Amino acid sequence: MARHINPSSSTNKTIDAIDRKRERERRFILNKARENAPELAIKLVQRLIDEHIIETNDVHAIQEGVEKQLREPSDMDEFEIRLKIADIRTLVPDPNILSLYLTAYIIDDLINHPSIQDIFGDDLDVYNAVESILGMIRPR
């Protein structure tokens, strides 16, 4: 993320503090998702089905794919994650990075999964369904 040069040291300190807070939150969320991936995948796929976002003929296969996606970002560098979410990064103010990542996965990749019959709703509908589950692990 590019920073603006400002001669005021108080502004720089504030920007640095915000950056540190976001980075700590990012690491916390990604590690928590990795630790709880199986449970989160079950809840998330069930929510997507309940909200009529996805239609599938093999729930278990979808859960495995989502579980893998919950584990992957903790091993990725920030550039790779930001590249994945580039198209939807402005979807909501103050987004959960993991919810954006999973939303991008559902919109871009899961739609091509052989067990998916169809995906319904717009990007915001998908994000809100994902965030309703993953928002629980976000520190307040």
Q: So where are the chain's domains?
A: 9-137
Q: How far apart are CA 73 and CA 98, in angstroms?
A: 8
- What residues pair up with 112 in beta bridges, in sequence order? none
Instruction: Identify each DSSP E strand in the chain by its residue range.
Output: 54-56, 116-119
Q: How far apart are CA 124 and CA 63, in angstroms?
A: 21
Over the stretch 100-109, which tens digit does the pLDDT of each residue have?
Answer: 999 999 999 9
Mean pLDDT for the chain? 90
What phi and psi, each to the nearest 5 degrees, are found at residue 117? Answer: -85, -40
Residue 133 in contact with residue 125, Cβ under 8 Å? no
Q: Is the pLDDT of residue 8 over 70?
A: no
pLDDT of residue 138: 82
Cβ neighbours around 58 below 10 Å, total: 13
Q: Which residues contact 62 (CB under 8 A, 6 or more apart)?
A: 45, 54, 56, 110, 113, 115, 116
Over the stretch 17-74, which tens digit does the pLDDT of each residue have?
Answer: 888 888 888 899 999 999 999 999 999 999 999 999 999 999 999 999 999 999 999 8
